[in-house]
Amino acid sequence: MVDHDPSDTVADAPERPSPSWPRWLRWTAAIGVLLVLVLIAGLTTAVVGVRRSWPQTGGELTISGLEAEVRVVRDDHGIPQIYADSTHDLMLAQGFVHAQDRFFEMDVRRHATAGRLSELFGDSGLETDLVVRTLGWRDVAEKELSLLRPSTRSALDAYAEGVNAYLEGRSPSEMSLEYTLLGITGLDYQPEKWSAVDSVAWLKAMAWDLRGNLDEEIGRALAIATVGEDRAKDLYPDYPYDEHAPIVRPDGAAGGSPALSRPAPAGAGTGTVRALARVRSVLAGVPALLGRGDGIGSNAWVVDGDHTDTGAPILANDPHLGISLPGVWTQVGLHCRTLSPECPYDVAGFGFSGVPGVVIGHNRHIAWGFTNLGPDVTDLYVERVSGDTWEYDGQRLPLTRRTERIEVRDGEDVEITVRSTSHGPLLSDLARFADEDGIEITRDGLLDQVEDVADAQDAGEDAISLAWTALTPRPTADALLALDRASDWDSFREALADFAVPGQNVVYADTEGHIGYQATGLVPIRRPGNDGRLPAAGWLRSTGWTGEFVPYDSLPHVLDPPSGIIATANQAVTDPGGDTPYLTSDWDLGYRSDRINRLLAADDELSVERMAAIQLDDRSAIGEALTPYLLDIDLPRGYYSDGQRLLRSWNYRQDADSAAAAYFNVVWREVLERTFADELPEVIRPDGGDRWFAVVTALLPRGKNAWWDDVSTDDKVERREDILRDAMMAARDELTALESPHAKEWTWGALHELDLRSSTLGESGIGIVERIFNRGGWEVGGGSSLVNATAWDAREGYQVVTAPSMRMVVPMDDLDAARWINLTGVSGHAFHPHYTDQTELWARGETLPWVFSEKAVEDAGKDVLRLTPAG
471-522 tens-digit pLDDT: 999 999 999 999 999 999 999 999 999 999 999 999 999 999 999 999 999 9
Q: Tell me, what's the pLDDT at 792?
A: 97
**Residue 311: helix, strand or coil by DSSP?**
coil
Rounded (5°) CA angle 213-214-215: 90
Residue 29 has pLDDT above 50, yes or no: no
644-658 tens-digit pLDDT: 999 999 999 999 999
728-743 tens-digit pLDDT: 999 999 999 999 999 9
Instruction: Give the Cα separation of 748 and 643 in Å (integer).
Output: 13
Whether residue 394 contacts residue 400, with contact meaning beta carbons closer than 8 Å, is answered with no
- Residue 446: closest CA among 670, 291, 283, 213: 283
Q: What is the 3-state secondary structure (H, E, C) of 655-718?
A: CCCCHHHHHHHHHHHHHHHHHHCCCCCHHHCCCCCHHHHHHHHHHCCCCCCHHHCCCCCCCCCC
Residue 356 has pLDDT above 70, yes or no: yes
692 lies in a domain? yes
**What single-letter amino acid sits at 390?**
W
Q: Tell me, what's the pLDDT at 213?
A: 81
Q: Tell me, what's the pLDDT at 291?
A: 56
Band of pLDDT at residue 66, cut at 50, 70 and 90: very high
- Residue 692: closest CA among 615, 642, 621: 621
Q: CA gyration radius for the chain?
A: 27
Q: Tell me, what's the pLDDT at 34?
A: 55
Report which of residues 19 and 114 the model is more confident about.
114
Residue 692 belongs to a domain with what CATH number?
A: 1.10.1400
**Residue 1: C-alpha distances to residues 435, 477, 487, 610 (Å):** 46, 39, 41, 21
Band of pLDDT at residue 560, cut at 50, 70 and 90: very high
Residue 502, preceding bond cis, omega within 30 degrees?
A: yes
Q: Tell me, what's the pLDDT at 32?
A: 53
The number of beta carbons lying within 10 Å of the beta carbon of residue 598 is 12
Whether residue 295 contacts residue 791, with contact meaning beta carbons closer than 8 Å, is answered with yes
The full DSSP string for 732-764 is: HHHHHHHT-SSGGG--HHHHSEEEE--SSGGGS
Under 8 Å CB-to-CB from 120, ≥6 apart: which residues? 108, 111, 182, 187, 189, 409
Q: Tell me, what's the pLDDT at 39?
A: 54
Element of type H or E holding 584: none
444-468 tens-digit pLDDT: 333 343 344 344 433 345 789 999 9
Whether residue 216 contacts residue 587, with contact meaning beta carbons closer than 8 Å, is answered with no
Q: Where are the beta strands (DSSP E) in 427-512?
A: 463-468, 504-510
Band of pLDDT at residue 208, cut at 50, 70 and 90: confident
Q: Tell me, what's the pLDDT at 6?
A: 35
Q: Tell me, what's the pLDDT at 462?
A: 76
Instruction: Give the Cα separation of 454 and 435 in Å (integer).
Output: 18
Q: What is the mean pLDDT of residues 50-57?
A: 93
73 lies in a domain? no
Q: How many helices (H) and strands (E) does the chain have?
A: 27, 31
- Residue 38: closest CA among 24, 26, 52, 50: 50
Question: Does the CA dihedral 771-774-775-779 come out positive or negative?
Answer: negative
Q: Tell me, what's the pLDDT at 318?
A: 98
Residue spans of alpha helices (H) in 114-228: 117-121, 126-135, 137-145, 150-167, 177-184, 196-209, 214-227
Helix axes 150-167, 196-209, angle to 10 degrees: 100
Whether residue 454 contacts residue 470, with contact meaning beta carbons closer than 8 Å, is answered with no
740 lies in a domain? yes
637 lies in a domain? yes
Residue 753 has pLDDT above 90, yes or no: yes
686-708 tens-digit pLDDT: 999 999 999 999 999 999 999 99
Q: Tell me, what's the pLDDT at 443?
A: 38
Q: Tell me, what's the pLDDT at 8?
A: 37
581 lies in a domain? no
Band of pLDDT at residue 24, cut at 50, 70 and 90: very low
Residue 304 has pLDDT above 90, yes or no: yes
360-397 tens-digit pLDDT: 999 999 999 999 999 999 999 999 999 999 999 999 99
Helix axes 126-135, 87-113, angle to 10 degrees: 110
Instruction: Give the Cα separation of 466 and 132 in Å (integer).
Output: 13
Question: Structurally, how many domains does the chain consist of?
Answer: 1
Instruction: Give the Cα separation of 279 and 273 in Å (integer).
Output: 10
Under 8 Å CB-to-CB from 233, ≥6 apart: which residues? none
Band of pLDDT at residue 44, cut at 50, 70 and 90: low
Element of type H or E holding 549: strand 545-549
Whether residue 35 contacts residue 49, with contact meaning beta carbons closer than 8 Å, is answered with no
Q: Quick one: what percent of the chain has pLDDT higher than 90?
A: 75
Q: Tell me, what's the pLDDT at 725?
A: 98
Residue 31 has pLDDT above 80, yes or no: no
236-295 tens-digit pLDDT: 999 999 999 999 976 543 322 323 333 333 333 444 677 777 777 667 666 656 655 454
Element of type H or E holding 478: helix 476-485
629 lies in a domain? yes
Q: Tell me, what's the pLDDT at 286?
A: 66
Residue 572 has pLDDT above 60, yes or no: yes
670 lies in a domain? yes
Question: Does the CA dihedral 345-349-353-359 come out positive or negative?
Answer: negative
- Residue 284: closest CA among 469, 434, 141: 434
Instruction: Give the Cα separation of 572 and 429 in Å (integer).
Output: 35
Whether residue 780 contacts residue 787, with contact meaning beta carbons closer than 8 Å, is answered with no
Q: Tell me, what's the pLDDT at 317?
A: 98
Question: Can you say how many angstroms the Cα of residue 253 is from the centroid of all Cα atoms in its chain?
Answer: 29
Mean of the per-residue pLDDT values for the chain?
88
Instruction: Give the Cα separation of 330 and 822 in Å (integer).
Output: 8
Q: Is 544 exposed, middle or buried (0-12, 13-18, 19+ CB in 10 A)?
A: buried
Question: Does the CA dihedral 683-685-689-690 come out positive or negative?
Answer: positive
Residue 3 has pLDDT above 80, yes or no: no
Residue 141 has pLDDT above 90, yes or no: yes
HSE-up of residue 636 (Cα within 13 Å, Cβ side)? 7
Q: Quick one: what percent of the chain has pLDDT higher than 70?
A: 86
Whether residue 24 contacts residue 187, with contact meaning beta carbons closer than 8 Å, is answered with no
**Residue 142: helix, strand or coil by DSSP?**
helix
Band of pLDDT at residue 210, cut at 50, 70 and 90: confident
**Residue 332: helix, strand or coil by DSSP?**
strand
**Residue 306: C-alpha distances to residues 300, 455, 603 (Å):** 18, 62, 10
The phi-psi region of residue 845 (left if phi > 0; otherwise alpha if psi is between -120 and 50; otherwise beta) is: left
pTM, two decimal places: 0.91
Q: How many residues does the chain have?
A: 871
Q: Is 602 exposed, middle or buried (0-12, 13-18, 19+ CB in 10 A)?
A: exposed
The full DSSP string for 521-538 is: ---EEEPTT--SSS-EET
Rounded (5°) CA angle 155-157-159: 70
Instruction: Give the Cα separation of 114 and 649 in Å (integer).
Output: 54
Domain hosting 629: range is 621-652+659-746
391-443 tens-digit pLDDT: 999 999 999 999 999 999 999 999 999 999 999 999 988 877 655 555 554 43
731 lies in a domain? yes
Q: To the nearest 10°, report the CA torsion of 445, 450, 451, 453.
A: 150
822 DSSP β-pair partners: 806
Instruction: Give the Cα separation of 754 and 1 in Å (integer).
Output: 10
